[in-house]
Amino acid sequence: MTFISENNLAALIGTSNRTVQTWGRNGLYPLRIQNGISGFEMEDLKVIPEIDSMLKSNWENESRVIPVRQFNSVELFAGGGGLALGMSLAGFHHVLLNEFETAACKTLKTNRPEWNVIEGDVRHIDFTPLRGKVDFLSGGFPCQAFSYAGKGAGFNDTRGTLFFELARAVKEIQPKVFMGENVKGLISHENGRTFETIKNAIAELGYTLVEPRVLRAIMYQVPQKRERLILIAIRNDIAKRVEFHWPTPYHEVLTLRDALYQSVIFDSDVPVSEGALYPEKKKRVLAMVPQGGDWRNLPEDVAKDYMGGSWLLGGGKTGMARRLSLDEPSLTLTCSPCQKQTERCHPLETRPLSVREYARIQTFPDSWNFQGSMSDKYKQIGNAVPVNLAWAVGRSLIRLFNDIQNIMPEDTQDCSEAVREIVHKQSQLVVVKDHNTQTSTVTNKYHELNFLDLFDQYALNSIADNCMVHEDINWEKYGEKPQMEPMVDETKNVLISLVKKDNEKMFLDGSATIYYTGKKFPASVALNKLFYFMPYIKGKGVRDLFLIRIARLGYRKEGTPEEDKNDLRLVLEVQFVKQLFDDYKPVELKIWRTFTDTTIGKLISRL
């Protein structure tokens, strides 16, 4: 027989302690006493759905689920890693994570150096290189109001919010399944309009939304009264062929005792760690409060003085002067352990919970080291999805992906090159962060290449040498009277560059053999991939394709009396290949209105 206290039953089913206590007094269910605590045997409560599901739990079997192949995943708004760690434990392979806050990124990188973590504003990330390569995308987006255009509000109405960025990532990547998590208040936010808009946006993206659920963390081996709304959407071409099954709950409700001492979820007592402290006056007040008590346990004069204006307000105010109980799950953790309205005093000592105690309540392992100031650490932990809750949902998702793989088998895609491309582009951005709005402004999109650093690296050697690649081609056949149509490799990179007016003639007639950059050249261009060159003629666009035979460092006006060896330039030795287009095509010069770096295939597909 499994015992559950009155208070824990109330937390489990989402009702008040008083209601459950009435059930016991009135004999609705047989009341039991265990170690001086009133409660019930769970087997006597089978008519309550939550209890019945716990008694029929399939937790152990679900815990043994493993992926049938590597499933690639991307996570946005990763924070301190609660959701990411849970999904990783379930079996997902994270290829990319994004987070805005510097301290949280340091936490992720410290604990999982192999993860590719992009620090910065998600709005500046182009996810298209990962299209078709990622199986699963997830993110806990904030609850924000939308600018509604009408009754049928959808994807475009979410612009300016972080849900829009999650949806944009889905649109660009096209994962098989994606998940969003949020506070349960999202359902009723703006009288339900926000949630309805999100559902419409998901449908517009081509995904089928599984009936959403608010999951109570205490049902999934988490010693905390915390609720999260989970949204899971399956791509339409897959949705009708599979069914998602939500995780079954654990057998019992865990308490704060399970978090702070050796238990089913931890092999040892909580280690000593840094933590906030109370001012002496506050400490004297909270010393009067017993385990599980609050301001109502204080003498009236002390309570009035401590609560100030809140004394006259309505409501239970049960978060004030609150001391936690070892025999109940913790209250929902916030970003600070000692806010007056949401007090979380240690059950035995008169102090706030320490950082490691906070982390244990969120089921982070003791080996997970948080970075930043103490305030940063509390914030990362308080904002996190409990690891064990994420792990349980992750296992259910792995079961879903295993089913998809059995029905629609395919190999795991290599994301390494796509991730390198995304990370490289991000490394070129120069931004100013606004921590209040969690956004950033790009002040300079591209760094300049330092020619002096390049000189130290290459000196007189070529940076790129493509001559050998084409040694089997008779280049004499190209030019004004080609005798054969040269092959063009659409996978190769092409540098498009604006040509100065005084150099246009030799590029117009195809006689050009050399191109000098200006004093500035973007560091975002991968020099080792330089292969083709296309001159951009102002007022016309691009038409002619040249091979970059050699890329090297040189000097302005080298080989002439005006040569200046203090003026380093990037020099491209080029050779005409063919007219790629019948006529000039306009293209956008994305970098300083002077350069564009792409591939031949992408260029052709856009024009």
Residue 453: predicted pLDDT: 55
Structure tokens given for 410 = 């395919």
Confidence band for 516, pLDDT divided at 50, 70 and 90:
confident
Mean pLDDT (whole number) for 126-137: 96
Mean pLDDT for all residues in the chain? 88
| Residue 462 or 126, more confident | 126
Closest by CA position to 218, among listed 361, 81, 29: 361
pLDDT of residue 165: 92
Task: Determine what percent of the chain is predicted with pLDDT higher than 90.
Answer: 64
Alpha-carbon torsion, ordered 26, 31, 36, 41, to 10 deg: -150
Out of 1-5, 425-429, 440-444, 474-478, pick the least confident. 474-478
State the burial class of residue 503 (Cβ atoms within 10 Å of its Cβ: 0-12, 13-18, 19+): middle
DSSP assignment of 545-582, as one string?
Answer: EEEEEEEEEEEETTTSTT-EEEEEEEEEEEEEEEESSS
pTM score: 0.75
Q: Look at 189 and 257; give whichever has higher pLDDT.
A: 257
Q: Beta 439-444 vs 430-434: how paired, if at all?
A: antiparallel
- b/e map 298-320, b = 16+ CB within 10 Å: beeeebeebbeeeeeeeeebebb
DSSP 527: G
- Average pLDDT, stretch 374-378? 96
pLDDT by residue (tens digit) across 412-435? Answer: 999 999 999 899 888 777 778 887
CA atoms in the 13 A half-sphere facing the CB of 267:
3
Task: Tell me how long the chain is.
Answer: 607
At 7 the three-state DSSP class reads helix
The neighbouring-strand residues paired with 556 are: 564
User: Considering only CA atoms, which of 62, 398, 18 is closest in space to residue 251?
Assistant: 62
Specify the pLDDT at position 440.
82
**What pLDDT is attached to residue 43?**
95
pLDDT at residue 446 is higher than 80: no
CA distance 193 to 195: 5
**Residue 343: phi, psi to the nearest 5?**
-65, 140
* DSSP H or E stretch at residue 119: strand 117-119
Cβ-contact 176, 138 below 8 angstroms: no
The lowest-confidence range among 69-78, 414-423, 513-522, 575-584 is: 513-522
Contact 295, 341 (CB under 8 A): no
Q: Which of 143, 338, 345, 415 is catalytic?
A: 143
* Better pLDDT: 408 or 607: 408
Reported as a single tens digit per residue, the pLDDT across 292-314 is 999 999 999 999 999 888 887 76
- Measured between alpha carbons, how far is residue 192 from residues 42, 189, 203, 222, 540 in Å? 35, 5, 17, 29, 52
Q: Is the pLDDT of residue 482 over 80?
A: no
Residue 331 clears pLDDT 80, i.e. is over it = yes
Reported as a single tens digit per residue, the pLDDT across 162-183 is: 888 999 999 999 999 999 999 8
The CA distance from 401 to 71, in Å, is 8
pLDDT recorded at residue 477: 46
DSSP state of 240: T
Contact (Cβ atoms closer than 8 angstroms) between residue 116 and residue 95? yes
Q: What pLDDT is recorded for position 557?
A: 72
191 and 144 Cβ atoms separated by less than 8 Å: no
State the angle between helix axes of 17-25 and 6-13 in degrees (0 to 180), rounded to the nearest 10. Answer: 120
- In the residue annotation, 415 being an active-site residue is answered as no
Q: Picking from 151-160, 471-480, 559-568, which range would have the lowest pLDDT averaged per residue?
A: 471-480
pLDDT per position as a tens digit, 182-222? 988 888 888 888 889 899 999 999 999 999 999 999 999 99
Residue 10 has pLDDT above 70, yes or no: yes
Using an 8 Å Cβ cutoff, are 423 and 116 in contact? yes
Pairing of strands 464-465, 544-556: antiparallel
Structure tokens at 266: 């931890």
pLDDT at residue 470 is higher than 70: no
d(CA 605, CA 508) in angstroms, rounded, equals 24
Domains assigned to the chain: 3-56 (1.10.1660), 67-253+387-418 (3.40.50.150), 266-373 (3.90.120.10), 451-606 (3.10.590)
pLDDT at 88 over 70: yes
Beta-strand ranges (E) seen in 6-57 are 32-34, 37-41
Give yes or no for a contact between 186 and 224, defined as CB atoms under 8 angstroms apart.
Answer: no
Q: Is the pLDDT of residue 449 over 80?
A: no
Half-sphere exposure of 570 (CA within 13 A, CB side): 26
pLDDT beyond 50 at 472: no
Measure the CA dihedral 581/583/584/586, to 10°: -80
